[in-house]
Amino acid sequence: MRQCASTLIGVCLFLSLCPPAWSQATVQTPSPDQQQQAKPEPVHQEVTVYATRTEGRLEDSPARVEILDEDEIDEKTAMTPGNIVMMLNETSGLRVQTTSPSLGASSVRIQGMKGRYTRFLADGLPLFGQQGAGLGLLQIPPVDLSQVEIIKGGASALYGAGAMGGVVNLITRRPRDKAARDFIFNQTTLGGTDVSAYVDRRISSQVAASLMGTGNWQIERDRNHDGWADLAGYSRGVARPRLFWDNGKGRNGLLTGGFVYEDRQGGTLPGKVLPATGGSYIEALETRRGDIGASAQFLLNEKYVAALRGSYSMLHHRHQFGQVLERDRHELLFGEGSFRSTAGRNTWVGGAAFERDAYRPEDVPQYRYTYWNPGIFGQDDLQATSWLSFSASARIDFHSQYGTLFSPRFAALLRGHGWTSRLALSQGFAASSALTEETEAAGLTRLKIPFPLRVERGRGLTFDLTRSWSIITATATLFASNVHHPLYVERTNAYSLTNLVLPTRNLGVETVAIFHKGELSATASYTWTRAEEQPSTVRQDVPLTPRHSAGLVASWERPNFGRIGIEGYYTGTQQLEANPYRTVSNPYVLFGFLVQKQLRAFQLYLNAENLSDVRQTKTDPLLLPQQAPDGRWTTDAWAPLDGRVFNGGVRVRF
């Protein structure tokens, strides 16, 4: 694995040093403007958003879209160059929850919604399949990203199944006239190594190409000396070439492909045994994933924009749970065509889409499925006045398993005198299957589904109010949602999957204040979330959903010199289940810092996470006294397992 990754990095280095095969390039490929929505800069510094389909300016969009710009992505890349987990976890309203303590899998919960309701896209393409969460999050490097767009709340009207909680759209870097070369070497104090390379260049005035490659390694670590790996070991290689085309006259296209190779292992360390059995227990996962995607956009009659998108992804897993082996294959085929135009104050979009989602388990064939899901959609944005605009969208899906499903969405924008408010109402769905956060961690061999599963249906509301001053911007957001027929995994006395009769309800408030003046900036956030479900006669909090969470980040930055940043995050108590040691977790606070120094093309950095060394195993054991009904030997992770960690390295860009 190290040899494959090293070869890939070498190819990137060779391409970056080759002389260009053209004389001059005069046309520059358009790229998304990298300016974060929340910064209190003048609104004439435009940001284009792509996740809303109409591709309008950020400040004019009735739908609230939060942007992580290139500067923030660069900062988070120094913290975790190997994946996007840190970048998302430190975004207000998002929580990256560890779903498998043994292997480190995680999911993104938006405003209290389960991770399976969040859809991940890359340039509008579902290249990560329906498995974008879980271990997929750990396999997406940030080095080739220029912008991240986040829609909080239901987006099924825009993207169909799997977007009932929101959408994360990763926008990649576009080559410019001058070729770019970007190399990172990173080392952690817990035995992690990351090497990444990104190069791009123009082939002609209309065609450009880029190549990204990474190699990541981690050794198993037992922080509390109980013989069990608190930090899983892995070796991973990722490669993604891209080809861009733009004729400068309204026609452009993208062709991309990707490959991921990872071997991950946790459980008991070599020579160690479980106290309860006296034997070893290995949990391991081999991942092989490949994808290909393409998109094109054409200007017709100087009035209509026709867009075509398509992708195919295949994911192979070989999962070992002790003596149990589960092998499977995931496939996702996607295609979409749409037309967009402007008529007066209206911008409309209409089109059709198709998805084929297939799951092929070899060892538990009773859970295999193939979902065919064609659909039609439409959207109309109305700029009523300079201070009032509306957006109405709807989608009808014809699902092979769950029939006809209607997903509407309405959004409104009102602004003036430094105030901006947005309202969004949505309805969506998620196609039920045996694949959930809980079953990903425990496997399917022991699982029972006593009744046919029903489709999950959700309704949501968000309302936010923003006030901007010269150096401060403050936003408060109210969010609420109901999920009818939610999936529920019973793990205490049995291991079964059913739909609950009563809905899951989410209610919360999110507040963010941002200060920016010269070289200084700071962000303070607080989120209150009440997520409840009723698996029996009494409603209870959804496990692993903190009622209170807060963060404070401050930084000083001077261009071409360096950056110093500090951060602190508070996580409140969480309801726990299937945990013999406690029913409610302890609150905890995490602190960290980042120091970056720019030396011409070189950037040196040192990052520290969890300086107070908070670890769940300081409070309770991670290992269970006996094997759980689902086969697991660990409790859920409600606090960090790795503890204090430093990482540092060098980034070279020229």
Is 3.30.390.30 the CATH number for 2-17+25-653?
A: no
Q: What is the pLDDT of residues 361-400, one digit of tens each?
A: 999 999 999 999 999 999 999 999 999 999 999 999 999 9
* pLDDT range class, residue 17, cuts 50, 70, 90: very low
- On whether the CB atoms of residues 155 and 126 are closer than 8 A, the answer is no
Say if residue 257 is exposed, middle or buried (CB neighbours under 10 Å; 0-12, 13-18, 19+). middle
What would the pLDDT profile of 208-249 be if each residue is shown by its tens digit? 999 999 999 999 999 999 999 999 999 999 999 999 999 988
Domain boundaries, the chain: 2-17+25-653
Q: Give backbone dihedrals phi and psi of 120, rounded to 5 degrees, phi first.
A: -105, 130
Query: pLDDT band for position 604 (50/70/90)?
Result: very high
Contacts 24+ apart (CB under 8 A), 18-21: 20/179, 20/201, 20/202, 21/203
Q: What percent of the chain has pLDDT over 70?
A: 91
Question: Could you tell me the pLDDT band of residue 135, with boundaries at 50, 70 and 90?
Answer: low
- For β-strands 192-202 and 403-416, DSSP reports them as unpaired
b vs e for 626-640, b when ≥16 Cβ sit within 10 Å of the residue's Cβ?
A: eebebbbbbbbbbbb
Does the pTM exceed 0.75?
Answer: yes
In angstroms, the CA 414 to CA 553 distance is 29
Asked whether residue 648 carries a pLDDT value surpassing 70, the answer given is yes
**Distance (Å, whole) CA 163 – CA 152:** 10
CA atoms of 406 and 299, how far apart (whole Å): 30
